[in-house]
Amino acid sequence: MNVTKTPTGKSINGAEIYAIDLENNTGTKVRIFNYGTIINSFEIINKDGKKQDIVLGFDTIDGYLSDAYLANYPYFGAIIGRYANRIANGSFSIDGTKYELSKNAGGATLHGGTEGFDKKLWNIDQVATEPHASVTFSYTSPDGEEQFPGTLETQLSFELTDHNELILSYQAETDLATAVNLTHHSYFNLSAEGGNIAGHLHRMNASRYLEQDDNFTVTGNLLPVEGSHHDFRLGKTIGENWDAETGYDQTYVLDKPYGDLTLASETTDPVSGLRLQVYTTEPVAHFYTAKHLEVQNGKKGQEYRPFDAFCVETQHHPNGINIADFPSTVLKPGQTYYQTTIYKVII
């Protein structure tokens, strides 16, 4: 096990951005920036004995800060907070008080607002090599940030095991009742050559998905996957019967006991043989096949195009703060928010 901390030469408001490298005993290496806790690379040794990076991104931190990238921003590899996905009309009420948030998606609040947790510089609290290579970050979101109530103390740790498991453990506390729904937004491609992921095999343990309006905001209705192209229960190629123009951008309700750490999805590239399993304590997973992806000068000069990656964003129900029948996303003083998600690569 090995952990290294390297300055990038870039700073935010005078504070240095660092790259943290976690390496296990099998040669797997994960690089994470403390800017947005971005998973910059997830590099494994594939069956041919070659290094293969399974996440999209840039060679250096500069790409994530460039105006060109931010103009068509896909949230590459970053934490999402305070609230993942869309909040309808950019507002919610807690205990009779209504909060109007920053709106950044057609009248809704998307991924925490104009400047969410993905654009914050996180503190590096601890690095360790035992029992596994790990790093723990923290960020204090002040009361009123993006108009959310309460000061939220958030901690996120990454732990890389010898079983090629990257374990993400979240924790948060507040001094005032607030809305919290955290996730991570890595873009995966399991092909050694990259490119379109329509041929990846995908399986998801979900019998229902969440209806969305024309602005992709969850309405509160649950729909059965049976008889629709959303049915991944037995596994199929991602492109088998999708809409080739839109792909998938949908939230699936996982068939699991609430709070249990269980398998949410499994995705395999038939050519490379790589398999990515996602385990989570969260009740839903948002499956996105990157229909809006248009990025120049990615890693090694690559151009990333629509459907060149997939995301499995584990979280609570989007817009759940406004839908009483959904699991609560209200965090109150004296309570602690917990979440665990594991990305496991099988070679």
CATH value at residue 193 = 2.70.98.10
pLDDT band at 341 (very low <50, low <70, confident <90, very high): very high
Cβ–Cβ under 8 Å, residues 184 and 341: yes
What is the arithmetic mean of pLDDT over 63-79? Answer: 96
The full DSSP string for 195-232 is ---TTSEEEE-EEEEEEE-TTS-EEEEEEE-TTSTT--
Q: Verify whether residue 146 is a known catalytic residue.
A: no
Query: What average pLDDT does the chain have?
Result: 97
Dist. CA 104–CA 176, nearest whole Å: 24
Q: How confident is the model at residue 160 (pLDDT cuts 50, 70, 90)?
A: very high
Q: How confident is residue 115, by pLDDT bands cut at 50, 70 and 90? A: very high
Report the pLDDT value the prediction gives residue 346, as an integer from 0 to 100.
97
- Give the range of the structural domain holding residue 166, as residue numbers without chain letter: 2-346
pLDDT given at position 92: 98
The pTM of the whole model exceeds 0.95: yes
Residues in contact with 345: Cβ distance below 8 Å, sequence separation at least 6, in sequence order: 28, 42, 44, 54, 164, 274, 275, 276, 277
Model pLDDT, residue 209: 98
Beta strands in 142-274 (DSSP E): 152-160, 165-174, 178-179, 183-184, 201-204, 206-212, 218-224, 236-237, 249-254, 262-268
- What number is the average pLDDT over the span 306-334? 98
Residue 114's pLDDT band (cuts 50, 70, 90): very high
Residue 234's pLDDT is what? 98
Tens-place pLDDT, residues 195-240: 999 999 999 999 999 999 999 999 999 999 999 999 999 999 999 9
Residue 131 CB-half CA count within 13 A: 4
Share of the chain above pLDDT 70, in %: 100
Picking from 115, 40, 127, the residue whose alpha carbon sits closest to that of residue 80 is 115
Four-residue CA torsion sign, 228, 233, 234, 237: positive
Quick one: pLDDT at residue 57?
98
Q: Does the annotation mark 313 as catalytic?
A: yes
Q: Report pLDDT digits (tens) over 176-186.
A: 999 999 999 99
Please compute the mean of the pLDDT values over residues 128-156 and round it to a whole number.
97
- Structure confidence at residue 112 (pLDDT): 97
Q: How confident is the model at residue 322 (pLDDT cuts 50, 70, 90)?
A: very high
Mean pLDDT value across residues 103-123: 96
Please give the pLDDT value at position 37. Answer: 98
So what's the pLDDT on residue 273? 94
Query: What was the pLDDT predicted at 88?
Result: 97
**Cα 178–185–11 angle (5° rounding)?**
85
Q: Please identify which of the residues 43, 313, 316, 317 carries the catalytic annotation.
A: 313
Assign 73 to helix, strand or coil.
coil
Distance CA 126, CA 133 (A): 11
Number of domains composing the chain: 1
Of 184, 185, 200, 230, catalytic: 185
Q: How far apart are CA 102 and CA 122, in angstroms?
A: 22
Q: What is the mean pLDDT of residues 243-261?
A: 96
Residue 320: other Cβ atoms inside 10 A: 27
